[in-house]
Amino acid sequence: MRISRVCIPIIVAVAVFGSILVSLSCATSTSKPPSTVAYAISGTVTYAGSQTGRIYMTVSSYHGTSIASPGPFAIRGLAPGSYVLSAWMDNGSPQTGVHSALSPSGNLSVTVSGDLPGQIISLSDPSPTPAPDTPTNVTVFPSNGCALVQWDSPRDANDNVLAQYYNIYYSTSGTVSPTTGIKKHVQASTEPNGIFVNGLADGQTYFFVVTAELGGAESAASAPAASATVGAPTGLNNVSGTVTFPGAATGPMYVVLYSDATGTFFQCIENPVSPQPYSISGVANGAYLAFACVDMDNDGMMGIGDIRNGSNLGDSAGQTLTVNGNLTGMDQTLSAANASFEVLTSHFSPAYTGIGDQYSVRLYVGGEMKLPVQVSVISGPNELVPHDISPGPLSRLFINLGSARPNVGDSYVITVTYSDGTSENLTDSVTAVLDSFAENLTTSGTDPGVPVFQWTAPTSPPSTYTYQMYVTDGQNVLWYYPSLVSVMPSWQTSVVFNLDGKAQQSSLTAGNKYWLLVLVHDAAGNRAATKASYTPTS
């Protein structure tokens, strides 16, 4: 499965690149201690245009709220500082919390040193009217009677999606086009885009192209056509188990094993009944994230309203699974909860921070059966409450604790309001704080510009663990491997720089100082991070 924009395709809005960067940098020697005061910013959103929709507002990446239409707003829990208040309208139909290039929007710079009332932010329609752009990098992954089609979403200079909808056209002919192919129409979502196409014949080769729609206009089709021969893969390993879910299914089930390094393997089950057995064949050795979903609206996508196993929670999405042979009893339990809420921890080593052990707590709130439109932390240690978090398919908050170690059992309570007007309180607690750092971070290889980064396993690792790594220049991440929600298996302790060709530069510059960051994740998503410097020679 290809990663685009550093998220899990087919999963709604999982952990984004920026949030990981903030989390990783919150405990460096230049970070500030946790704030001891918090303030509110309030005012009015105005709009003179003709479009309608819910207004989303953010102050930094994690503070925000939404209102049903232009009017008064308030955002609580802001530390002193300078911010950009951004607002935009979800003018899609139906509304899904996706900011497209056609969304009316506005920005306002603010400085918070106390409560800040009376702020007015005006929305305006984009001008000139943007046009849809052709999707790129279309790929197809086959399984039994089904194919998973994915593509990259072109974006404008402000990182807004240049599409409100996508059209997938497919046929058994390599000359497939919008005029000759069978059409699947899907709404753009916050995740890199992917759709399961069912009802295909095993052994038959199918060809796919994708177009984007924006403001009623349709882009040119992607080229060349992507293809795959449908059917379950054979050989290698088999992973099987049972999926249990509440209620009755009104659509097919997809059971997925995802790895950025070794590929995607999955099974489509047309008429699932709980408890539903599954068996995925042809799985390569490696570390995977395992998901399952009952596609209740049968649209081929995992989204709001589908029955899932917390698949919208970023770092903690699904289950971590290591495959090194056939596996049985890999059971999954799906939830029909309105939203998922998880509390995870990060521990940064003295080698990472330069000032001693540092800690943070990460809160993830993912829309499941319903779409969250307001999320507020109302209780929790080391947190100034109430604290409004940017809502949507995925909300996230990183709480910098400095040198204060979180305690297992520390409990956080949030209030979630959904797009249908209902609300509820959700509670979750810290389950672990990892002290399991990767050790002996070094480099080797014959080309200093393309080194082999290597390390040794933690002395006392979790019972199940995986790795992620980053290469930075001290300010920017130049390369991460694998994707932010994919993982390396515990037995992999070395990686060649730019192995996947996705680094910001093909080689490291002689004489420049770089940093290798290695994260150890437990099965839940708690992590321990350490780093070491590297300066290539000429």
Helix (H) or strand (E) segment spanning residue 351: helix 350-353
Residue 233 lies in a domain: no
In a domain, 423, yes or no: no
In order of 26, 33, 63, 377, 420, the CA distances from 112 in angstroms are: 20, 17, 13, 20, 32
Q: How far apart are CA 23 and CA 346, in angstroms?
A: 8
> Nearest-CA neighbor of 256 among 273, 231, 239, 235?
239
Asked if omega into 142 is within 30° of 0 (cis), the reply is no
Buried b (16+ CB within 10 A) or exposed e, 247-279: eebebbbbbbbbbbbbbbbbbbbeebebebebe
Take residue 533 and report the two structure tokens written for it. Answer: 């410097």
Residue 499 lies in a domain: yes
List beta partners, residue 518.
469, 530
- Predicted pLDDT at 27: 44
What is the pLDDT tens value at each position of the chain, 538 positions in all?
Answer: 222 222 333 333 233 333 444 445 444 433 445 667 889 999 999 999 999 999 999 997 789 999 999 999 999 999 999 999 999 999 887 877 878 888 999 999 999 999 999 999 999 999 888 999 999 989 999 999 999 998 988 888 877 888 888 999 999 999 999 999 999 998 876 555 789 999 999 999 999 999 999 988 999 999 999 999 999 888 889 999 999 999 999 999 999 998 877 888 999 999 999 999 999 999 999 888 888 999 999 989 888 899 987 544 444 445 678 888 999 999 999 988 999 899 999 999 999 999 999 999 999 998 889 999 999 999 999 888 899 999 888 888 888 899 999 999 999 999 999 999 999 999 999 999 999 999 999 999 889 999 999 999 999 999 988 899 999 998 899 999 886 556 788 889 999 999 988 899 999 999 999 999 999 998 888 999 999 999 999 7
Q: Is residue 135 part of a domain?
A: no
Whether residue 291 lies inside any domain: the answer is: yes
Which domain covers residue 105, as residue numbers? Answer: 39-123
Please state, as a whole number, how many other Cβ atoms lie within 10 Å of the Cβ of residue 12.
Answer: 27
CATH at residue 487: 2.60.40.10
Using the 3D structure, point to which of 123, 149, 182 is the last residue of a domain.
123
The SS3 assignment for 186 reads strand
Q: What pLDDT is attached to residue 8?
A: 32
What region does 454 belong to: left with phi over 0, alpha with psi -120 to 50, or beta?
A: beta
The pTM of the full predicted model, rounded to 2 decimals, is 0.85
Q: Which of 123, 152, 183 is the last residue of a domain?
A: 123
Query: What are the φ and ψ backbone dihedral angles of 350, each rounded to 5 degrees?
Result: -55, -35
Helices (H), 92-222: none
Considering its fold, how many domains does the chain have in total?
Answer: 3
In a domain, residue 335? The reply is: no
Q: 151 in a domain, yes or no?
A: no
> Can you give the CATH number for the domain in which 54 is found?
2.60.40.1120
Pairing of strands 237-244, 332-333: parallel
Domain boundary among 69, 93, 123: 123
Neighbour tally for 130: CB within 10 Å: 17
The whole-number pLDDT of residue 4 equals 27
Q: Which of 248, 252, 239, 234 is closest to 197 using CA atoms?
A: 252
Q: Evaluate whether residue 18 is within a structural domain.
A: no
Contact at 8 Å (CB) between 292 and 255? yes
Q: Count of CB atoms within 10 A of residue 474's CB?
A: 10
